Structure 1
Amino acid sequence: MKFDTPAGQNPIDQMKVIGQPVDRYEAKLKTTGTALYAYEYHDVAPNIAYGYILGAAIAKGRIASMDTTKAEAAPGVVGVISYKNAGNLDVGKFYVQKMLAAPKVDHYHQAVAVVVAETFEQARSASALIEVQYEGVQGRFDLAEQLDSAPVPPPAEFGGPPEIEVGSFQSAFDTSEIKLDETYTVPDQAHAMMEPHATIASWDGTNLTCWTSIQQMNWGTRDLGLILGIPKENVRLISPFIGGGFGGKGTVQSDLALAALSSWAVKRPVKIALQRPLMFNNTIHRPKTIQRIRLGAFRDGKLTAIGHESWSGNLVGGRTEPTTLSTRSLYAAPNRLMRLRLATLDLAEGNAMRAPGEAPGLMALEIAMDEMAEKLGIDPVEFRIINDTQVDPEKPDRKFSTRPFIECLRTGSARFGWNERNTRPGEIRDGHWLVGMGMASAIRGAPIAKAGARARLDRNGVVTIETDMTDIGTGSYTIVQQTAAEMMGVPLESVIPKLGDSNFPETPGSGGQQGAPSVTAGVYAACVKLREAVIHQLGFNGDEVEFANGRVRSGDLSVPLASAAANGELVAEDKMEFGNLSKQFSQQTFGAHFAEVGVHAFTGEIRVRRMLAVCAAGRILNPKTARSQVIGGMTMGIGAALLEDLAVDKKLGLFVNHDLAGYEVAVHADVPHLDAVFIEEVDPTMSPVKAKGVGELGLTGVAPAIANAVYNATGIRTRDYPITLDKFLGQMPAVA
């Protein structure tokens, strides 16, 4: 099915099932502990062996020698795989990291060997017997030292052009009545998902099956095929449940590649899970950024110049962090400069983490907007409203498909009690606590991509949907089930969604906030095909047929849907392909975040007291699961604002706090009551379902809202995340 004109009325608009806050399809499995994750498939293949990855002990250099003799002779060991016997491993298309040092070492904890044994304990013990001698060289580990040598990177598939100028930025900025020129830093951050990276790999001749934890099946089969040098058609990935990903499991990581390689080498199925201390330096992370924001405005608050320059670092060939994405679309200003620069660093690869680009970009931009509003003497909410735009600031002839941005701001302001905020920082006290409010805008692109599904109708009237879409805790099963139930006119319990198998029709998977709109469009297309098959089987006139209450009605004739499959199962498969509406319209999601914090006047301890998110993301398919996604993003934003920082040892070149004891994330005690509300809207330019993604919108803007609240509480402005005591405690006595 081709979607190239805005959607009109269709069965989804009935909203009998779509749009309802139904419980998650897999809730019972997860709450009873019976949902199986990648490492828990114990009986899928006979005689499974266990692999253990040994990570490099240096950050840059090469392996001078490796002696695996003792490890190979250790009890239970069935093989040791290293560059000596692994053959040539290529790299995938999206990640540039090499899965095995060969013998060049590119970063700390890059895999240097895999020990395979009868038990996990035997493999781990034997790994300590491998004798590795390294020749280390000095690497580049400090982004701040590489700024002058960081070039503008080539255009990227994700993030767009690295350098954009509209109008005459420098001239407009120099002549602005009010100016701001500040630098903000966002540190390296880790995904820190609950489920570690894990895979079971098993070969059948030249065909490979892997039970793994991966977000995007199509990228996974493609990249694993490239790494191993086999056709992607020979690869089957199975991943029905994923314990969190946040982009860190987008495609192939070392567990998947090395489990497959080890299984081939020892001629047995092999199971590998990355130990937690290995994950932080072995896999990808969100890279540090240093961002310079320049704003120029008239005294009436109208921005005339916006400049956003950003530096990040990566391995050779890696991607830049596209922090200017949000700045390009959020506010009007006739003169604009966006520039990305990419330094070479010898740390683990920097790549996609929840809302790449927008999340760290807004962490800078939205503090700058707060500072500028103060310079102008304008309320921060009103300042943003003044600079709203209904057309793409870079392409004024292109309108936004929908943009209820002002409605988000107004709704949030009223609901949060923004008018009670004291504009003078440090004025509100609650005992020993200084109390402040802050807010920030939110924006996240609304991508959508080709997606397919297969729909089956059996003689009992049960509809089964098969699609390779994954569920990383987002509720994919449930919205697939709801979409099919709405289209086929059956109750939820008559729909069985089957996800997470690369043998099923292809979708873009879970990533980039495109999963929900894409997969539901694919299910819509498959169900249209199934409806046509039912109509044909029943001999009805297609123009007058209604599917409702488990029956098919045409005029005065009404029969059970199941009767169409009385002589055998009906199967229909289709995919939704998209035209150029995304070029005709700027498709984005919008929101506003509000936060209230308390800062202890004597200790400087920061406590988030309450938060509100107002989101506009097209049709909300399930308010319950959507709210869950938003408050999850808000929780992640608390961590980004106050806690999360991968500390780099700039001499040895590694993230020092590479476990969940040293890398702090928000826990229950850090998270107060969170409120999330949705603006009612549909976007007919997206798909017949008229929905957008929302999972990453819930994160963007959260951290700067908290940062702005801390400033309002104390009068101390911190421009370096996370906002920790060492960065402002010295100024607190005067405030207290």
Structure 2
Amino acid sequence: MMNNLGEAVPRHDGPIKVTGAALYAGDRNLPTQLYAVFVSATIPAGRVVSIDVTAALARVGVVKVLKASDMPRVHRKLDEISVPPLATRFIPMQSDEIVHEGQPVAIVLAESLQAAEAGAAVVRVRYERRPFIVPDNAPAADVAPEKGHYSKANALEFHKGDAAGAIAGAAFRAGGAYTQPSRHGNPMEPCAILAVWEGQKLTVYDAVQHLPAVQNTLAAAFGIDSAHVRVIAPHTGGGFGTKAFVWPHEILASMAARVVGRPVKMVLTRQQQYSMVGYQPQMTQEVQLGSDSQGKLLGISHQVVNVTGMTDDYVEFGAVPARSFYACENISATHRVRRGHVVLPTFMRSPWDGPGSWALGSAMDELARSLNVDPLDLRLTNYTETDPESGKPWSSKKLREAYDEGARRFRWRERPKGGTLDGHWRIGCGMADCSQGQARFHSTARVRLRADGTAQLESSFCDIGTGPATAFPQIAAEVLGLDPSQVTALSGDTNLPYAGPTYGSATTISTGAAVQRAAQDVRSRLARLAGWPADQVSLQGGRIAYAGTSRTIQDVLGEAGVAELASDGAFDLPGNARVDMGSPGFPTRSFGVIFVEVGVDPDLGLLRLRRATGVYSAGRIINSTTSRSQMIGGIVWGWGMAAMEGSHYEPALGRWLAKDLAGVPIPVNADIPPDIDVAFVDEFDANSGPLGAKGIGELGATGVAAAIANAVFDAIGVRVRDLPITPDKLVKT
């Protein structure tokens, strides 16, 4: 058998993406299509009194302007769709109510995009303004079960022992309030959809992270069978969670297409990405730690409050790390929300653990400073082989090996003393833990082995840039004894076998396992055609071998008169669940450690990343190139979170202050040094799934913000607890 897994196989879709041949949702066009442009609310709270469309309809090319009164009502079946995958229960243009600035109040449909934009500019809307609530300043409140189902995704509260008492009686204590602003994902491809009806059947070309979720949600919204909805999305230009769930614009565009009886294409502007889809919410995290004189944690308290909208309660479970990272007998973790007039937040790359690791990792460094111990040694003192919440052993965990390898590669034990001068820069080093919960989704796939010795795999997964269309052929090729170049992937269409979502770092572990099982069944069928025992054959180089004899795949299929062998495979979860967070007996997480060196100019308040080393315990690595790229991208993402990014709510106007990339600092090449060192420990997690792999897409973004803040303290002795770490927080006063 060829060992294709782990090899640095180039991206199959690389050439078509860099040459512009790959078609994204916004690239699609159909004959007779109309272009749709939203008219957005200019107030954060109130209602629409009237809409004057006379001037818009007078514009050349404008065909129709849809108001709430023109739109179909969503079918009652939509109530049966949970939140998520439905992003929010509030669907605009079903009433005159306004709950946030930027909310759609009308849709202009025209023969060209330019005509639609011109028409939207002259639609006149009269509002009745009402007082609005600034979410950042709203009082913290308990999560309301009737305001959505996000609270069911995880326990809102977790209590083990007496955390408050243990911390109060501890010899050493550390912690405080750690904040971070709201933050928008800003994928390169904006949200886009092209919807077309043929009788009672709907087809949409959509920018999504899970096609079947869109299929089922749209079917429910219109009260039709899901088999009558087809979703096509072979390429998605980044998602970060923004495209994970089904947002109102997808329902509204499909409604518009039904009303006018023509295909409707809608591409959100960059500004609308801020006011019509979600983002990571502003969060305040109160962390308190208590330990004995040796650094053993006696108590952990982690209380999280995040902003949310008025219609639904989105909960960012940032306290999950408190009950997952370290051995401790007394843990308290709670979550509350602040409701305001703002579009609903959503998952964003490394949800829960990304924000939570920032606060907990900072507090651990503060505790290490109080104890006068190395922060790595503090973590080793509190290392746990079992899940602190359940007491069950981890599915696999080689974090000790990652600590050792990372410290060696970074030369952590030999690092320069904090505050060492390099010209006008003060040098500091910091480290933090990386960890991400592991979702698993029911998934299926089909593999076809052809008489010419090539193969094709089919599944409805979508590629948001992480490379499954490259990794999955590797998986099939290993089983079938082919070169990965001989296996193609057909994806991004709900007419193909069902695949789970491309989020939760779950695509490879879930759909990849389904591909593996389908290929294994094809191999068994091939062996039976050859007349050989299926469990004793080997495949390599396009040949099947048994007991010293081998034959080509072409010969076996040709002699049997078979053009191809096709088999379906499934990755099924216990109890036929659609999703879980690991095997019931073995909680699953990916782990790692990040070490960074920064330079700080305290006179000018400048902060620079000089080098970084990340070493990860993440199960079997399928493709070393794409995996390493994922981790580098995660570290860059974490640098943006730590040092640059933030979306701010303007309290006087009730809207986001900046709604474009011109006003949003994000990391570019000049901000990131070439010296980013990434490695993986050798690991096979048999409990996570048959591939032995675990998720990595979100892991690299965890821990980075804490490591950078810790390095800043090492450099200049300033403890920053409020992200991002901007110059005003570093400059000498």
TM-score, with length taken from structure 2: 0.94
- Cα gap change, 1:105/1:229 in structure 2, threshold over 3 Å: closer, same or farther? farther
Letter in 2 for 1:725: P
> Once the two structures are superposed, what CA deviation does each residue of 1:112-170 show, in whole Å capped at 9, x if it has no partner?
111111100000000012111111212222334312x4457688566511111101112
Indicate the larger mover: 161-170 or 403-412: 403-412
Equivalent residue, structure 2, for 1:637: 638
1:622 equivalenced with 2:623 (yes/no):
yes
Indicate the larger mover: 338-347 or 627-636: 338-347
1:453 equivalenced with 2:458 (yes/no):
no
Letter in 2 for 1:69: T
Q: Any idea what SS the aligned residue of 1:698 has?
A: helix
Contact 1:153–1:341 under 8 Å retained in 2: no
Letter in 2 for 1:586: P
Equivalent residue, structure 2, for 1:384: 379
Listed as ranges, the matches of 1:16-31 within 5 Å are 16-31=3-18
Q: Any idea what SS the aligned residue of 1:79 has?
A: strand
Listed as ranges, the matches of 1:326-405 within 5 Å are 326-396=321-391, 398-405=392-399
**RMSD value over aligned CA atoms?**
1.8
How many percent identity over aligned positions? Answer: 34
Q: Distance in 1 between matches of 2:238 and 2:348?
A: 12
TM-score, with length taken from structure 1: 0.94
Shift of 1:73: 3.0
Listed as ranges, the matches of 1:88-107 within 5 Å are 88-89=73-74, 93=82, 94=84, 95-96=87-88, 98-101=90-93, 102-107=95-100
Letter in 2 for 1:302: K
1:693 equivalenced with 2:695 (yes/no):
yes
Listed as ranges, the matches of 1:436-515 within 5 Å are 436-515=428-507
Listed as ranges, the matches of 1:198-277 within 5 Å are 198-277=192-271
Q: Any idea what SS the aligned residue of 1:330 has?
A: coil
- Cα gap change, 1:680/1:116 in structure 2, threshold over 3 Å: closer, same or farther? same
Equivalent residue, structure 2, for 1:115: 108
Equivalent residue, structure 1, for 2:650: 649
Q: Distance in 2 between matches of 1:160 and 1:408?
A: 28
The aligned length equals: 712
Q: Distance in 2 between matches of 1:475 and 1:274?
A: 25
2:683 to 667, 681, 704: 681
Shift of 1:727: 2.7
Listed as ranges, the matches of 1:532-611 within 5 Å are 532-566=524-558, 567=561, 568-579=563-574, 582-611=583-612
Equivalent residue, structure 2, for 1:431: 423
Equivalent residue, structure 2, for 1:47: 32
Contact 1:153–1:162 under 8 Å retained in 2: no
Equivalent residue, structure 2, for 1:75: 60
Shift of 1:215: 0.6
> Once the two structures are superposed, what CA deviation does each residue of 1:173-220 show, in whole Å capped at 9, x if it has no partner?
111111124001011010111111111111111111111110111222
Contact 2:430–2:708 under 8 Å retained in 1: yes
Indicate the larger mover: 573-582 or 360-369: 573-582
Letter in 2 for 1:594: F
Q: Distance in 1 between matches of 2:315 and 2:156?
A: 9
Q: Distance in 2 between matches of 1:406 and 1:543?
A: 37
Q: Distance in 1 between matches of 2:551 and 2:253?
A: 52
Contact 1:159–1:357 under 8 Å retained in 2: no
Gaps of 5+ in 1: 1-13
Letter in 2 for 1:391: T
Shift of 1:228: 3.3
Letter in 2 for 1:296: G
Contact 1:153–1:342 under 8 Å retained in 2: no
Equivalent residue, structure 1, for 2:282: 288
Q: Any idea what SS the aligned residue of 2:663 has?
A: coil
Q: Distance in 2 between matches of 1:602 and 1:67?
A: 56
- Cα gap change, 1:64/1:34 in structure 2, threshold over 3 Å: closer, same or farther? same
Letter in 1 for 2:233: S
Letter in 2 for 1:321: E
Letter in 2 for 1:666: P
Contact 1:318–1:350 under 8 Å retained in 2: no
Shift of 1:725: 1.7
Letter in 2 for 1:554: Y
Equivalent residue, structure 1, for 2:136: 143
Q: Any idea what SS the aligned residue of 1:343 has?
A: strand
Indicate the larger mover: 163-172 or 66-75: 66-75
Letter in 2 for 1:551: R
Gaps of 5+ in 2: 576-581
Letter in 1 for 2:68: Y
Indicate the larger mover: 296-305 or 567-576: 567-576
Indicate the larger mover: 642-651 or 556-565: 556-565
Shift of 1:254: 4.0
Q: Distance in 2 between matches of 1:697 and 1:239?
A: 25
Q: Distance in 1 between matches of 2:151 and 2:549?
A: 53
Equivalent residue, structure 2, for 1:530: 522
Q: Distance in 1 between matches of 2:49 and 2:296?
A: 61
Listed as ranges, the matches of 1:398-417 within 5 Å are 398-417=392-411
Q: Distance in 2 between matches of 1:230 and 1:136?
A: 37
Runs of 4+ residues over 4 Å off in structure 1: 150-159
Shift of 1:97: 5.2
Shift of 1:232: 2.1
Q: Distance in 2 between matches of 1:526 and 1:82?
A: 49
- Cα gap change, 1:489/1:117 in structure 2, threshold over 3 Å: closer, same or farther? same
Equivalent residue, structure 2, for 1:5: none
Contact 2:628–2:678 under 8 Å retained in 1: yes
Contact 1:82–1:100 under 8 Å retained in 2: no
Equivalent residue, structure 2, for 1:194: 188
Q: Distance in 1 between matches of 2:535 and 2:288?
A: 58
Letter in 1 for 2:678: A
- Cα gap change, 1:338/1:228 in structure 2, threshold over 3 Å: closer, same or farther? same
Contact 1:115–1:126 under 8 Å retained in 2: yes
Q: Distance in 2 between matches of 1:520 and 1:115?
A: 42
- Cα gap change, 1:160/1:240 in structure 2, threshold over 3 Å: closer, same or farther? same
Q: Distance in 2 between matches of 1:52 and 1:531?
A: 51
Shift of 1:571: 1.9
Q: Distance in 1 between matches of 2:143 and 2:151?
A: 18
Equivalent residue, structure 1, for 2:414: 420
Q: Any idea what SS the aligned residue of 2:138 has?
A: helix
Contact 1:246–1:353 under 8 Å retained in 2: yes
Q: Distance in 1 between matches of 2:485 and 2:229?
A: 33
Q: Distance in 2 between matches of 1:22 and 1:707?
A: 36
> Once the two structures are superposed, what CA deviation does each residue of 1:260-302 show, in whole Å capped at 9, x if it has no partner?
1221122111111101111112111111111100100001100
1:178 to 172, 175, 178: 172
